[in-house]
């Protein structure tokens, strides 16, 4: 009787439906080469202008110090988001981070003249 019960349990276990894994989320498209280039250029312009201005305008020295890490922030976000191990939500977060950083660079560049920096 025990053997029959064990055989029955094994048979029903073997026929049990396996839980289906949901399909993996599709990977978001990477940022375009043009968007990456514009992002890097926008922050490099801010760094260059802020640091050039800081040489003659003391009020811009903080801007220069704050600007320098921005190109690294973009580079790191692109590396993390571009990793084949990055999950779709991480890719989207890193893309948003790049765009937020670029927005800051553009807005901060526009504010430099209010500190006494030349427009070009």
Residue 21 lies in a domain: no
- On whether the CB atoms of residues 115 and 54 are closer than 8 A, the answer is no
Residue 95 lies in a domain: yes
Question: What pTM value is reported for the model?
Answer: 0.76
What was the pLDDT predicted at 99? 97
Residue 13 lies in a domain: no
In whole angstroms, give the CA distance from residue 105 to residue 69.
11
Residue 9 lies in a domain: no
Segments of the chain with pLDDT less than 70: 1-19
Other beta carbons within 10 Å of 45: 14
The total number of structural domains in the chain stands at 1
Q: How far is CA 103 from CA 6, 11, 61, 112, in A?
A: 67, 62, 21, 15
Residue 105 lies in a domain: yes
Domain assignment of residue 107, given as a range: 35-120
Residue 93 lies in a domain: yes
For 107, phi then psi, to 5°, come to -65, -40
Residue 116 lies in a domain: yes
What was the pLDDT predicted at 13? 56
């Amino acid at each position: 009787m025990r053997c029959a019960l064990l055989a029955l349990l094994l048979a029903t276990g073997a026929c049990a439906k396996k839980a289906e894994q949901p399909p993996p989320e599709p990977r978001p498209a990477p940022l375009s080469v043009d968007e990456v280039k514009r992002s890097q250029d926008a922050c490099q312009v801010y760094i260059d202008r802020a640091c050039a201005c800081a040489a003659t305008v003391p009020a811009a020295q903080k801007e220069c110090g704050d600007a320098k890490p921005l190109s690294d922030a973009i580079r790191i976000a692109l590396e993390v988001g571009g990793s084949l191990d990055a999950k779709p939500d991480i890719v989207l977060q890193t893309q948003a981070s790049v765009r937020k950083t670029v927005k800051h660079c553009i807005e901060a560049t526009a504010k430099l003249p209010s500190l006494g920096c030349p427009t070009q």
